[in-house]
Amino acid sequence: MELKQPYLLFLGDAADALAAKVAQGIKTWRPEHCLGQLRLPECQADVGLQELSVSAAARAGAKTLVIGVANRGGVISPAWIEVLLEALEQGMDIAAGLHNKLTDIPELVAMAQKHGRNLFDVRYPTQSYPVANGKKRSGQRLLTVGTDCSVGKMYTSLAIEKEMAGRGMNVDFRATGQTGILITGSGVSADCVVSDFIAGAIETICPDNSAEHWDIVEGQGSLFHASFAGVTTGLIHGAQPDALVLCHEPTRQHMRGLPDYALPDLATCIEANLSTARLTNPAVQMIGVSVNTSALSEAEAMAYMDKVESDLGLPVVDPFRQGVARLVDRLLERV
Amino acid sequence: MELKQPYLLFLGDAADALAAKVAQGIKTWRPEHCLGQLRLPECQADVGLQELSVSAAARAGAKTLVIGVANRGGVISPAWIEVLLEALEQGMDIAAGLHNKLTDIPELVAMAQKHGRNLFDVRYPTQSYPVANGKKRSGQRLLTVGTDCSVGKMYTSLAIEKEMAGRGMNVDFRATGQTGILITGSGVSADCVVSDFIAGAIETICPDNSAEHWDIVEGQGSLFHASFAGVTTGLIHGAQPDALVLCHEPTRQHMRGLPDYALPDLATCIEANLSTARLTNPAVQMIGVSVNTSALSEAEAMAYMDKVESDLGLPVVDPFRQGVARLVDRLLERV
């Protein structure tokens, strides 16, 4: 699936800024794709784009209304339907990454058909993927892995893509989750693929490329997460990474959603990821660590990162505080 | 899904004995479930049951016609349809583990509805599974793992179940592939589950049980198979095994379907499986090795197994040549 740009970002009735984090992600990483935002009267979020009505957005050339808001349970709120119908009438596609599907709402389906528009439920794969073949591909790949879920793998990947693009390198972010797909307009939601085809789906989204090209593949889950390590394993094997970056959140008390499971220590986690990745690329290297230190003070964050850097002998950065230039420097030294 | 016994095994137009290996598996491991076999005139397979027409089987009380034959591509042959329709008319359900679905054939669906019968495509999950919670469950579990796909994990698991049941132990085989499901009447085809739910599906099929009970969980794939290791990882984590048995085929030249990938050595494979399994059960132990030596002479087989046994310090058996008593002995010593 390939979403058409530019976007009208729909913030709906977001209860707070966090509820609109998908819209914020698109605005942060692909501002050039965003024409404006549309907020319902009760909306408590604002990503700082110009306010556009559906008809104003259509006149300005918006091709897709992206639902940039999530509410509890991932449902499509009845309060949104009127706006969505209007967007279809005005010639836009609609894209969403929610648990519930746009295509399960008969009035949206009917209106889309009437106007020849598309409804994209990016969480759900629409193509069938092959079983992975494990063959060495041309081009180069970096994959983010994590000590846990939701520790900054997407953010780190997008920051690395931006840093490399800024240096004039030939680089593409490859999305493996719904937010990443909405940000970049394509990819596959790895955890929604039938398990036989996880590695094959990832092979498909980062295919053969020119020798100097880098795919920055968004990781998912963790080898140490008892619910999702299968997804992570297939993703690592399919990505065939030349380089890994480990992502970590240092204040987490236990694995996300699993109160009985402690986080792995970083050295153990690095060795396990390298060991798994070597199956499809024996030359893989860990090039650095990306830490989300948002729960720490500046002084605590710096002390923590200094300690990890000296323990592991790898560059350690918080991409939000410091950027990822040192990770890209290490990548280039290594090549 | 729960299939009703007893079965009429349909061998169709099987081109050779291998094409009817599903029927042979059911006959071998659950003879008490089999009323008879039905073969079309051109059938080249014979599992040695009494020949029954559909109506004779129905009169004898058959509850399910099981398609025990596979042809290239896993399609449902047009030559079978007449028999399948007759079975539905005579009050039987139909079960198949093929790639193509019974439920995609309108005339079968119509006939099943008319007579209130069920069509079971056991390869495809019909229930939704939860995300795994990783919580320690009561009861005990043994899981078969492999150096590669198709090295005897199902056969070994069923042999262990039979050996333990013969000793009066409280034991259940838990099927994770279509053949195993058809043999035992329930289970989940792990590689067809959406990848987020692999571990959760396996947790579901081997739930809390009495302290002395053993689940013998059928393994799938291999941690060293670049296409399927994600499935294997999720399965290991969901099974929470107390004991592992490593299955191996010693004459294989490369990983199945992957000409560029060599098989792992046994010690490396054992350590990788233990390391993965320790995440959800730190007390896991490898209790032995099951080798499929069918491609070796008796003398070669014995010499090979002696060598492996002395290298690894674990009991090594070919379950077909020698049975699995020594694996169960080791399991009981350990407890």
Q: Where in chain A is the domain with CATH 3.40.50.300?
A: 140-334
Q: Is the pLDDT of residue B234 over 90?
A: yes
Q: Best mutation site among A147, A150, A191, A195 for testing chain B: the one with the most B CBs within 10 Å?
A: A195
Distance, in Å, from the CA atom of A123 to the CA atom of B230, rounded to the nearest integer, reads 19
Contacts of A232 in chain B (CB under 8 A): 230, 233
Instruction: Choose, out of B128, B145, B196, B222, the residue to mutate when testing the contact with A (most A CBs < 10 Å).
Output: B196
Residue A335 is predicted with a pLDDT of 62
The superfamily in CATH containing domain B7-121 is: NAD(P)-binding Rossmann-like Domain (3.40.50.720)
Q: Which of B192, B196, B258 sits opposite A196 (nearest CB)?
A: B192
Question: Which residue in B has a C-alpha nearest to residue A263's C-alpha?
Answer: B279
Looking at residue A214, its amino acid is: W
Give the contacts of B98 (CB within 8 A, at least 6 positions apart): B67, B70, B74, B75, B76, B121, B123, B178
The full DSSP string for A213-273 is -EEEEPP-S-TT-TTTHHHHHHHHHHH--SEEEEEE-TT-SSSTT-TT-PPPPHHHHHHHH
On the question of pLDDT at B335 being above 70, the answer is no
> pLDDT at position A114, please?
97
- Residue A155 contacts residue A177 (beta carbons within 8 Å): no
Chain B positions touching A177 (Cβ under 8 A) are: none
- Give the contacts of B253 (CB within 8 A, at least 6 positions apart): none
> Distance (Å, rounded) from C-alpha B256 to C-alpha B292?
15
Please tell me which of the candidates B134, B230, B257 has its beta carbon nearest to residue A195: B230
Q: Is the pLDDT of residue B139 over 80?
A: yes
Contact B195 A133 (CB under 8 A): no
**Contact indicator for A63, A34 with CB cutoff of 8 Å:** no
Strand order across the B243-248 sheet: B171-174, B214-217, B140-146, B243-248, B285-291, B316-317
SS3 of A166, please?
A: helix
d(CA A158, CA A151): 14
% of chain B exceeding 70 in pLDDT: 100
Nearest to B255 by CA among B294, B228, B291: B228
| Nearest residue in A to B196, CA atom | A191
Structure tokens at B77: 């042959």
**B268 contacts chain A (CB < 8 A):** no
B318 lies within 8 A of chain A by CB:
no
Nearest C-alpha neighbor of B199 from the set B227, B228, B240, B153: B240
User: In the sheet where A34-39 sits, what is the strand order?
Assistant: A34-39, A7-12, A64-67, A93-96, A119-121
Q: Categorize the per-residue pLDDT at B215 as very low, low, confident or very high, splitting at 50, 70 and 90.
A: very high
Q: For chain B, say whether A61 makes contact (Cβ under 8 Å).
A: no
Which 207-226 residues of chain A touch chain B by CB within 8 A?
Answer: 223-224, 226
Residue A194: name the closest of B58, B123, B292 by CA. B123
pLDDT tops 90 at residue A72: no
Residues 6+ apart with CB under 8 A from A332: none
B-chain residues near A231 (CB < 8 A):
195-196, 198, 230, 234
Instruction: List the single residue in A135, A199, A257 with the smallest CB-CB distance to B260.
Output: A135
- Whether A37 and A9 have beta carbons less than 8 Å apart is answered as yes
Q: How many CB atoms lie within 10 A of CB A297?
A: 9
Give the mean pLDDT of B304-319: 98
Burial class (CB in 10 A: 0-12, 13-18, 19+), B42: exposed
First and final CA of chain A: distance in angstroms?
33
From the candidate CATH numbers 3.40.50.300, 3.60.9.10, 3.20.20.100, 3.10.20.30, the one assigned to the domain spanning B140-334: 3.40.50.300
CA distance B200 to chain A (A): 7
Instruction: Count the Cβ atoms, other than its own, within 10 Å of residue B230.
Output: 33
Distance CA B151, CA B269 (A): 14
Contact A192 B192 (CB under 8 A): no
CB B293 within 8 A of CB B128: no
Alpha helices (H) along chain A: 21-29, 54-59, 81-89, 106-115, 153-166, 178-184, 198-205, 229-239, 266-278, 298-312, 319-322, 325-334
* Parts of chain B belonging to CATH 3.40.50.720: 7-121
Sign of CA dihedral B53, B56, B57, B58: positive
Q: Sort strands A34-39 and A285-291 into parallel, antiparallel or unpaired.
A: unpaired
Region at A50 (left for phi over 0; alpha for psi -120 to 50; beta for the rest): beta
Whole-number mean pLDDT of chain A?
A: 96
Strand B171-174, strand B214-217: pairing: parallel
Q: Specify the pLDDT at position A274.
A: 98
| Residue B283: other Cβ atoms inside 10 A | 9
The one-letter amino acid at A116: G
The yes-or-no verdict on residue A303 having pLDDT over 90 is yes
B272 touches chain A (CB under 8 A): yes
User: What is the tens place of the pLDDT at every residue in B111-138?
Assistant: 999 999 999 999 999 899 999 999 999 9
Six-digit token string for A196 = 């036989």
Which pair of structure tokens corresponds to residue B65? 């016609």
Contact B16, B35 (CB under 8 A): no
- Predicted local distance difference test score (pLDDT) of residue B29: 97
- Are the beta carbons of B134 and A260 separated by less than 8 Å? yes
> B221 falls in which pLDDT band (50, 70, 90)?
very high
- Of the candidates B135, B193, B230, the beta carbon closest to that of A233 is on B230
* Cα–Cα nearest to A142, from A259, A26, A290: A290
Q: B227 and A272 in contact by Cβ < 8 A?
A: no
Number of residue pairs across A and B with CB atoms under 8 Å? 130
Residue A275 pLDDT > 70 = yes
Instruction: Give the pLDDT score at B334.
Output: 82
Residues of chain B positioned with their CB less than 8 A from the CB of A223: 233
Q: Is the pLDDT of residue B291 over 70?
A: yes
Q: In this predicted structure, what is the pLDDT of residue A73? A: 80
Measure in Å the smallest separation between the Cα of A300 and chain B Cα atoms.
Answer: 30
Q: Which residues of B touch A132 (CB under 8 A)?
A: 226-227
Residue A334 is predicted with a pLDDT of: 82
Backbone phi, psi, residue B289, to 5°? -125, 135
B233 in contact with A at a CB cutoff of 8 Å? yes
Quick one: which H or E segment has residue B93? strand B93-96
**Interface check B230 vs A, CB under 8 A:** yes
- Number of helices (H), then strands (E), belonging to chain B: the values are 12, 11
Contact A193 B191 (CB under 8 A): no
Question: Hey, what are A70's tokens?
Answer: 């999530």
In sequence order, what are the beta bridge partners of B96?
A: B121
Q: Least CB-CB distance to B227: which of A191, A199, A230?
A: A199
The verdict on A260 touching B (C-beta cutoff 8 Å) is yes
Residues 6+ apart with CB under 8 A from A166: none
Indicate the residue of B132, B196, B275 with minimum beta-carbon distance to A191: B196
CA distance B237 to chain A (A): 6
A50 vs B297: CA distance, rounded Å: 78
Q: Give the tens place of pLDDT for each residue, B27-75.
A: 999 999 999 999 999 999 999 999 999 999 999 999 999 999 988 788 8
Contact at CB, A231 and B194, closer than 8 angstroms:
no
Q: In whole angstroms, how far apart are CA B138 and each of A21, B141, B213, B280, B328? A: 41, 9, 9, 13, 20
Mean pLDDT in residue range A193-210:
97
